[in-house]
Structure formats: C-alpha cells, structure tokens
C-alpha cells in the first residue's frame, strides 16, 4: 500500500513543487512505498497561467531529477487532500501556520513544520539546499519506520 506525504507552501509553485518531485525521485531510488503530492494554502493570490517555477525546475535539473509528468497548475489544498495524507509538511512555519490556522484550524497542530525560506527571504542557491537536506532526512525517517 502506498502512503502519501503532502507538501504545503503558499502558492504551490516553487518550494512545494520542488519537494514533491525531489521526494518522489528519492523514494523510487530507495524502493519506498511512499509518494509525495503538493498543494498551496493561498493559490488564488497568484496568476492562473503558471505551472511550476523555473527556479524549481532549475534546481531539480541541477540535481539530475527528471520530470516525467506533464506539469500541472498550482492547486489549492482541500480538507480531503489533508485527510488522505499520512504526513503533511508545511515548508515554513512562520508563513504557513497562520494560513493553516485560518483555513483548517483542526490541522494546524497536526502538520509538521519546516523552516525553508521562500524567494523573498533567500535565493534558491540557499533555500533549495536546505530543502534538499530536509527531504533527505525525511526519506531516512520514512525508510527506518517503513520496513
């Protein structure tokens, strides 16, 4: 049975999409029965014609992560998305806890929070290595807990 981790950020355009693709690539390499998906907490604040950030694509390419899927538009998180995930990770607590508390108050304490800055606080050459390290640690945790 495949288990799911859901990565949350604000727009579902940069950090959460990088996390989704990078986690899925690592999970396949490790033979894990986990799959990642991603959603945004405030997708409606961004333009509709976006798919995935070029910064995320560049970061994935630099790490040798192939993208096999057609790129979709950012998606707003729903209660169903949260409920069907065994683990939910919000990528920056200071940014995402208030949004979760406002939109899904019963989930605010059930989410794991990381501290990965968005582009307004850190350039990709700083933020993506932090995110990569968190993802690699998560893969090791999942691997240890899921024989």
CA distance 15 to 97: 16
The predicted structure's pLDDT at residue 147: 64
The predicted structure's pLDDT at residue 50: 78
CATH number given to 3-145: 3.40.50.2300
CA distance 131 to 117: 9
The predicted structure's pLDDT at residue 48: 64
Q: What does the domain layout of the chain look like in residue ranges?
A: 3-145
The answer to whether 14 and 5 are in contact (CB under 8 A) is no
The predicted structure's pLDDT at residue 97: 97
Intervals of the chain under pLDDT 70: 46-49, 69-70, 147
- Nearest CA-CA partner of 85 in 141, 2, 3: 3
Q: Does the pTM exceed 0.75?
A: yes
């Amino acid at each position: 049975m495949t288990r799911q981790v859901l990565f949350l950020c604000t727009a579902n355009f940069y950090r959460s999409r990088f996390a989704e693709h990078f986690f899925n690539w690592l999970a396949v390499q490790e033979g894990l029965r986990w799959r990642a998906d991603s959603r945004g907490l405030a997708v409606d604040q961004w333009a509709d014609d976006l798919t995935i950030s070029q910064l995320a694509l560049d970061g994935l390419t630099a790490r040798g992560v192939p993208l096999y899927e057609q790129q979709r538009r950012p998606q707003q998180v729903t209660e169903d998305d949260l409920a069907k995930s065994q683990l939910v990770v919000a990528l920056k607590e200071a940014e995402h806890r208030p949004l979760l508390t406002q939109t899904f108050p019963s989930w605010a304490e059930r989410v794991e929070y990381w501290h990965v800055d968005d582009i307004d606080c850190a350039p990709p050459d700083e933020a993506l290595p932090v995110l990569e390290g968190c993802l690699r640690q998560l893969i090791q945790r999942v691997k240890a807990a899921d024989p």
